[in-house]
Amino acid sequence: MMMAAVDAAVSVRGVSKVYAGNVQALNNMTLDFPRGQLTSLLGPSGCGKTTLLKIIAGLLEPTSGEILVNGRPVAGPGRDRAFVFQDFALMPWASVIRNVAFGLELRGVPLSEREGVAEKYIKAVGLAGFERKFPHQLSGGMRQRVGLARALAVNADVLLMDEPFSAVDEQNRRKFQEDMLALVADEKKTFIFVTHSIEEAVYISDRIAVLLPRPSRVSEVIEPKIDRHVSPDAMRRDPGYLDTVERIWASLRSYVE
């Protein structure tokens, strides 16, 4: 079902991106991301999902068009946005608590205050007791939790997540998906989530922007109709969940190589 955007935290307005060699990644894309919701960007490999995420983050400049965050044009990275990288991007020589507090350290927040905030989010992502461990002492799933806690700690309005669960096993991935639902509800922030997984997008998302192959544009925006007051297993058996997965797969099947 097509949904109208209301109270957009992030607005993409006619954004195109052309790389060297005249490779067009995005084509006149317009899309709103409602405040306080999780919106997934879903589409075939190479369709420009990560390009759009980096433009929203201010890490790439669009060739044309603009990005608005809370009504203000994006001219580069800002404190209103935080990025959770696919490859964790942790400092290997720093403890968990220092990695999580690093953004606050850069802002000059006093040690006791930033460690207090870091401890709160380390606990929130299920890593209490690991504050003094180092990245090499953690599993891949635990390192990804550190990256998420670091993004949450800086209290950005918008969290940008580039396939954050792709490097973990299926069991941990499902647990992370369940945790994401709780975080979205608790934090009241705007999450923009890139994924290749139809099932993941339908499970965690308030809205799903389905993108077409390069040069990418929005095919449709879907709002899954799922009862989220039941158990995780019941959610995955919900007819609304199953029907939405099949509908998206039917629309994307022809683009799979």
Q: Is the dihedral of CA 249, 250, 252, 254 positive or negative?
A: positive
Query: What amino acid occupies position 107?
Result: R
CA-CA distance, 32 to 10, in Å (whole number)?
6
Residue 2, pLDDT score: 44
- Angstrom distance (rounded) from CA 55 to CA 87: 19
- State residue 5's pLDDT score: 44
Is residue 254 a contact partner of residue 248, using CB atoms and an 8 Å limit? Answer: no
3-state helix, strand, coil in the chain (%, to 5): 40, 25, 35
pLDDT in tens, the chain (257 residues): 444 446 889 999 999 999 887 888 899 999 999 999 999 999 888 888 999 999 999 999 999 999 999 999 999 999 999 998 877 788 999 999 999 999 999 999 999 999 999 999 999 888 999 999 999 999 888 888 899 899 999 999 999 999 888 777 788 888 888 888 888 888 889 999 999 899 999 999 999 999 988 777 888 999 998 888 888 889 999 999 999 999 999 888 876 65
Give the pLDDT confidence score for residue 217 in this predicted structure: 83
Provide the whole-model pTM: 0.90
CA dist., res. 158 & res. 190, Å (int) = 5
Instruction: Give the chain's domains with CATH numbers.
Output: 8-80+158-255 (3.40.50.300), 92-155 (no CATH)
Q: What is the pLDDT of residue 3?
A: 46
> CA 51: distance to chain centroid?
13
Q: According to the model, what pLDDT value does residue 4 have?
A: 46
Residue 6: its pLDDT value, please? 62
What pLDDT score was predicted for residue 256? Answer: 65
